[in-house]
């Protein structure tokens, strides 16, 4: 392959780390760099990020990835055609348009401080928790940006003052990054893409614009909101002071939508991404499907300003890989996340231990922010290996819980003829754990494809950044989804199904909701 090639860059700003990858025309990475950043937990259930630290991590990753690609002999400076951006969704912040300084730390998507805001709205609004579902596809929940924005407006003096003076800008992480990358206080572009906008609870899924009645009912001033753009268009160019100054930003997607696009999920196909949380999305084509089983309706992608809009059903799980991090940082029974597979493999089962990781409440399909984690079945025989395996099983059981709801919706809407036809593609950092994947496929009992890359949200930008160039300069991307490992459902499905049913019984009996549990239960939530 010629060293003088065309390249695109993918900026992946996630919940725990930032990564920048440079790809060649064959979707091969030629340079990459990743940086973790600080997680702040100021109170129980609160999670925050420092927006300035995130900006610095982006700058470092860009510079280091460029250096590595150059060291590998690639002339990226002249061949880089653009970058795409993918980001953690729902995470919310406001900043000063005059100084560029954040008015408060970013409130992370899993943060549960807004539960009182949610309860108040549920009582005041005629439709209760589902009041906005018909418009925006989302229930009232601590998960979404609107609730976090209301909390900031009610509790942070600098936010109140900036809004009053007309100096406040609101955005999710994509908006914050694009504004800074394109100039900041010197003409930065205040925009967001459709997928991120659809997670704020403020966008109308039909009009694809901010919903004025919703803004009015929530008391949110429209002038602080960014312009909404499609997922595949040149948004602007990177400004001076950044490693890739002058390079166009040619696409933006929320991370889970990017993973679905990277997995080449067509209408009726679903993907599950295993990261800090776990997120299952089903492509419903150009139809907005309202779930009857606790799932979300959301924008999937829109590949150009005049392109059709694809929608999806989503089941969001708050805690997946984060439970493994808790074993490492909270209980200290492993030194690194990668150790959990070896530890959990030391036992054939959990020994009757069941774990529900409701650290910050429960998302789909339950939507209970007052839930807290429990571990049941501990005896003198229980070892840390049993706990580790129970954590892995809890990740898989949560995914099955969502998939069961998704299958019901899909069958009822005619997306698939029956549940046996349902196909799932999986990706994300945790998919390198072979034991986790074995448990998952045996739990689901459906056809499952493990993607050869755990970072499909990054690869998706070869799709969205240059739609008109794909067939000529990036032919490999159209066949990436074929390079997957087909996971066979084994006979142990029945054993895991039995375990799942026990887990569901625990779920339904206790629901983990701040009860005086018997001695068999240990409260684990923070």
Tell me: do 29 and 64 sit in the same domain.
Answer: yes
Q: Any alpha helices (H) in 332-383, and if so which ranges?
A: 339-344
Q: What is the pLDDT of residues 224-249, one digit of tens each?
A: 999 999 998 889 999 999 999 999 99
Tell me: do 238 and 291 sit in the same domain.
Answer: no
Domain boundary among 209, 241, 262: 262
Residue 11: which CATH number? Answer: 3.30.420.40
CA distance 97 to 171: 12
Residue 468 lies in a domain: no
Tell me: do 398 and 439 sit in the same domain.
Answer: yes
93-107, 372-386, 493-507: range with highest mean pLDDT: 93-107
Give the model's pLDDT for residue 473. 39
Given the DSSP bridges, would you call strands 106-107 and 374-376 parallel, antiparallel or unpaired?
Answer: unpaired
Residue 481 lies in a domain: no
CA distance 287 to 462: 25
Tell me: do 158 and 305 sit in the same domain.
Answer: no
Tell me: do 447 and 371 sit in the same domain.
Answer: yes
Domain boundary among 245, 262, 279: 262
Residue 293 lies in a domain: yes
Tell me: do 123 and 179 sit in the same domain.
Answer: yes
Beta bridge partners of 163: none
State the burial class of residue 354 (Cβ atoms within 10 Å of its Cβ: 0-12, 13-18, 19+). Answer: buried
Ramachandran quadrant class, 109 (left: phi over 0; alpha: psi -120 to 50; beta: rest): alpha
Residue 262's pLDDT band (cuts 50, 70, 90)? confident
Domain boundary among 246, 262, 278: 262
- Please state the pTM of the whole predicted model: 0.84
Domain that residue 107 falls in? 90-229
Tell me: do 224 and 236 sit in the same domain.
Answer: no
Tell me: do 196 and 67 sit in the same domain.
Answer: no
Give the model's pLDDT for residue 514. 44
Tell me: do 371 and 433 sit in the same domain.
Answer: yes
Q: Which of 27-31, 100-104, 199-203, 281-285 has the lowest mean pLDDT?
A: 27-31
Residue 484 lies in a domain: no
When divided into structural domains, the chain yields a total of 3
Residue 304 lies in a domain: yes
Residue 472 lies in a domain: no
Residue 467 lies in a domain: no
Tell me: do 320 and 449 sit in the same domain.
Answer: yes
Tell me: do 72 and 211 sit in the same domain.
Answer: no
Tell me: do 100 and 247 sit in the same domain.
Answer: no
Q: What is the pLDDT of residues 320-373, one digit of tens each?
A: 989 999 999 889 999 998 999 999 999 998 998 888 888 888 888 888 888 888
Give the model's pLDDT for residue 3. 47
SS3 content of the chain, % helix, strand, coil (to 5): 35, 25, 40
Residue 466 lies in a domain: no
């Amino acid at each position: 392959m010629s060293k003088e090639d065309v390249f695109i860059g993918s900026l992946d700003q996630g919940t725990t780390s930032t990564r920048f990858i440079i790809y060649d025309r064959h979707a091969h990475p030629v340079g990459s760099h990743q940086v973790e950043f600080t997680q702040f937990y100021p109170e129980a259930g609160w999670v925050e990020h420092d927006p300035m630290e995130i900006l610095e991590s982006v700058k470092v990753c860009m510079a280091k990835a460029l250096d590595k690609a150059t060291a590998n002999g690639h002339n990226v400076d002249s061949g880089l055609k653009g970058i795409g951006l993918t980001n953690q969704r729902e995470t919310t912040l406001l900043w000063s348009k005059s100084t560029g300084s954040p008015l408060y730390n970013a409130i992370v998507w899993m943060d549960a401080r807004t539960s009182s805001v949610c309860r108040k709205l549920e009582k005041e609004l005629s439709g209760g928790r589902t009041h906005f579902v018909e418009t925006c596809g989302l229930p009232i929940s601590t998960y979404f940006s609107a609730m976090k924005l209301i909390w900031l407006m009610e509790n942070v003096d600098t936010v109140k003052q900036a809004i009053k003076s007309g100096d406040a800008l609101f955005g999710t992480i994509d908006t914050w990054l694009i504004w800074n990358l394109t100039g900041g206080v010197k003409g930065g572009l205040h925009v967001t893409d459709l997928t991120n906008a659809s997670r704020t609870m403020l966008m109308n899924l039909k009009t694809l614009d901010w919903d004025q009645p919703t803004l009015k009912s929530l008391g949110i001033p429209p002038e602080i909101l960014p312009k909404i753009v499609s997922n595949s268009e040149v948004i602007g160019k990177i400004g001076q002071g950044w490693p890739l100054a002058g390079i166009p930003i040619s696409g933006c997607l929320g991370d889970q939508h990017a993973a679905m696009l990277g997995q080449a999920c067509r209408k009726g196909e679903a993907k599950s991404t295993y990261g800090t949380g776990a997120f299952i999305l089903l492509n419903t084509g150009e139809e907005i499907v309202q779930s009857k089983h606790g799932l979300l309706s959301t924008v999937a992608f829109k590949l150009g300003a005049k392109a059709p809009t694809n929608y999806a059903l989503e089941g969001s799980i708050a805690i997946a890989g984060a439970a493994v991090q808790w074993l490492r940082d909270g209980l200290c029974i492993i030194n690194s996340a990668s150790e959990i597979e070896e530890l959990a493999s030391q036992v054939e089962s959990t020994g009757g231990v069941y774990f529900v990781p409701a650290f910050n409440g429960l998302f789909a399909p339950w939507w209970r922010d007052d839930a807290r984690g429990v571990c049941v079945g501990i005896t003198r025989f229980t070892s840390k290996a049993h706990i580790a395996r129970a954590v892995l099983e809890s990740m898989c059981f949560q995914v099955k819980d969502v998939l069961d709801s998704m299958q019901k919706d899909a069958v009822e809407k005619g997306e698939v003829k029956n549940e046996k036809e349902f196909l799932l593609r999986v990706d994300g950092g945790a998919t390198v754990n072979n034991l986790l994947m074995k448990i998952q496929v045996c739990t689901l009992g459906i056809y499952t494809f493990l993607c050869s890359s755990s970072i499909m949200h990054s690869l998706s930008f070869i799709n969205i950044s240059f739609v008109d160039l794909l067939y000529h300069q990036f032919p490999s991307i159209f066949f990436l989804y074929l390079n997957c490992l087909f996971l066979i459902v084994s006979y142990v499905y029945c054993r895991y199904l039995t375990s799942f049913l026990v887990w569901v019984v625990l779920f339904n009996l206790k629901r983990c909701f701040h009860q005086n549990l018997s001695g068999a239960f240990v409260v684990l939530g923070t």
